Structure 1
Amino acid sequence: MADQDGSRVSIPAGSATLDGELHLPDGGSGLVVFAHGSGSSRHSPRNQYVASVLRERGLGTLLFDLLTEAEDRAYENRFDIDRLTDRLDAATGWLREREDTAPLAVGYFGSSTGAAAALRAAAAREDVGAVVSRGGRVDLASAQLPDVTAATLFVVGGADTQVLELNREAYERLACEKELVVVEGAGHLFEGEGELERVAELAADWFGDHLV
């Protein structure tokens, strides 16, 4: 069982075993699963920062690698949204089978291509309460968007013009509770002063409202 400092876990996903880092909430009721973007991993400093803010709000977090090291060396696998979605679904099922995580309300935080996997997985499951997309390639989940029932927040940088347009188009396809927030002046990675902090606060508020 993970303690408050977190523990390393191995998640079965078909023929693969995925490495992860699980932090359980201290008396909380929500757990956020992170789906990173292409070329990233569970060690993503941006996602690690957001996860730390969520934990400060009493939420649990699971950061895990959606691909094995061998799979990640093949560039095309990073954009295999079907595979990434299956991995996220497998991780969620694994959480549902554990005694310590089964009772927790689950949400997804997806970045870039990981946001597409998060939305696709949420559309296929009834036990995901909320989704937050940071600079998400949500267009890659276009066909599944009308089936998403989880409360969904899109956060996009104002200077990330192409992705912002894709998010606006995708937003119209959502039939669930939803919100789109533009962080003015921010680029795709939210590297400017205070920008990632803004993302983390928005995510913490969203998950706090819908999971806790």
Structure 2
Amino acid sequence: MNSTATRVTEQTVRVEVPGLVLEGILAVPEDANGVVLFAHGSGSGRHNPRNLFVAEQLQSAGLATLLIDLLTADEERIDERTRRIRFDIDLLADRLCGAIEWLAAHPRTHGLRVGLFGASTGGGAAAVAAAHEPGKVGAVVSRGGRPDLAGAALFAVLCPTLLIVGGDDEMIEELNRAALAQIGAPVKELIVVPGASHLFEEPGKLDEVAHLAAGWFVRHLGTGGGTYAG
């Protein structure tokens, strides 16, 4: 539960997507002005502390959040051995698209504009989902992600897109710069956080990511085009 004055209602949910049901955590603050769906690769699900921290900051900014496990427990076990399913971008993107449909139908999030927050290979999946659902995804933020894995779909990403990478994560920064050039959105930006590694584990660095993400989503999802002071 969020510790700020904003009242946030949190519940465990079962998100039905074609072919299976995904476990998730839906948190909705009063008068939410958008909902952010988290996208990630393997080993970083709804209970991941980094995801939970960012989600709480987004909730403080008036945004609902949905954290889901994009892979089933069996798939996670297979992926731990093979490290292949986390790179199946089309599979991850299809499940994100299913979750977007679920949010549109859910009574607590119906009518809210959807943002996607991607990390690791989830950055690529978020880009593909945004390309497939141009009328339903209002903004994308990628943290230390691999949007380059979206390939040709990057040209069809038309919503405002923010790529955040750590200054010490040189290979990922290079891949993100190349991806940024291919993204079709007229509003797009790459922000490099100095002194941050791939997971932004250094003191204060994940706070900076959360602040940047909250500002981006409030600006581009809020019905009134609001601002975020942090």
What residue in structure 2 maps to residue 28 of structure 1? Answer: 32
Structure 2 residue 57 is matched with structure 1 residue 53 = yes
The Cα of 1:198 is off from its aligned counterpart by: 0.4
Structure 2 residue 98 is matched with structure 1 residue 90 = yes
TM-score w.r.t. length of structure 1: 0.96
Once residues 165 and 87 of structure 1 are traced to their aligned partners in structure 2, the CA distance between those partners, rounded to angstroms, is: 28
Secondary structure at 1:5's aligned position in 2? strand
User: Any unmatched runs of 5+ in structure 2?
Assistant: 1-6, 223-230
- CA-to-partner distance for each residue in 1:134-163, whole Å, 9 max, x for gaps? 001111012111101110000000110111
Preserved contact between residue 17 and residue 99 of structure 2 (Cα < 8 Å): yes
The Cα of 1:39 is off from its aligned counterpart by: 2.0
Once residues 194 and 12 of structure 1 are traced to their aligned partners in structure 2, the CA distance between those partners, rounded to angstroms, is: 36
What residue in structure 2 maps to residue 37 of structure 1? Answer: 41
Once residues 106 and 142 of structure 1 are traced to their aligned partners in structure 2, the CA distance between those partners, rounded to angstroms, is: 22
Structure 2 residue 111 is matched with structure 1 residue 117 = no
Structure 2 residue 20 is matched with structure 1 residue 16 = yes
Secondary structure at 2:192's aligned position in 1? strand
Secondary structure at 1:99's aligned position in 2? coil
The Cα of 1:41 is off from its aligned counterpart by: 0.9
What is the letter of the counterpart of residue 91 of structure 2?
A: R
Structure 2 residue 153 is matched with structure 1 residue 144 = yes
Picking from 210, 214, 220, the partner of 1:200 is: 210
The Cα of 1:16 is off from its aligned counterpart by: 1.3
Preserved contact between residue 155 and residue 184 of structure 2 (Cα < 8 Å): yes
Structure 2 residue 193 is matched with structure 1 residue 189 = no
Preserved contact between residue 36 and residue 44 of structure 1 (Cα < 8 Å): no
Once residues 131 and 147 of structure 1 are traced to their aligned partners in structure 2, the CA distance between those partners, rounded to angstroms, is: 13
What is the letter of the counterpart of residue 153 of structure 2?
A: Q
Preserved contact between residue 162 and residue 188 of structure 2 (Cα < 8 Å): yes
Once residues 109 and 44 of structure 2 are traced to their aligned partners in structure 1, the CA distance between those partners, rounded to angstroms, is: 25
Size of the aligned set, in residue pairs, is 210
What residue in structure 1 maps to residue 3 of structure 2? Answer: none
- CA-to-partner distance for each residue in 1:11-68, whole Å, 9 max, x for gaps? 1122211000001131122000001233211111111100000000111000000011
What residue in structure 2 maps to residue 167 of structure 1? Answer: 176
Once residues 106 and 10 of structure 2 are traced to their aligned partners in structure 1, the CA distance between those partners, rounded to angstroms, is: 15
User: Any unmatched runs of 5+ in structure 1?
Assistant: none
The Cα of 1:166 is off from its aligned counterpart by: 0.2
Once residues 205 and 164 of structure 2 are traced to their aligned partners in structure 1, the CA distance between those partners, rounded to angstroms, is: 11
Preserved contact between residue 135 and residue 189 of structure 1 (Cα < 8 Å): yes
Secondary structure at 1:73's aligned position in 2? helix
What is the letter of the counterpart of residue 23 of structure 1?
A: A
The Cα of 1:5 is off from its aligned counterpart by: 3.1
What residue in structure 2 maps to residue 73 of structure 1? Answer: 77
The Cα of 1:99 is off from its aligned counterpart by: 2.6
TM-score w.r.t. length of structure 2: 0.89
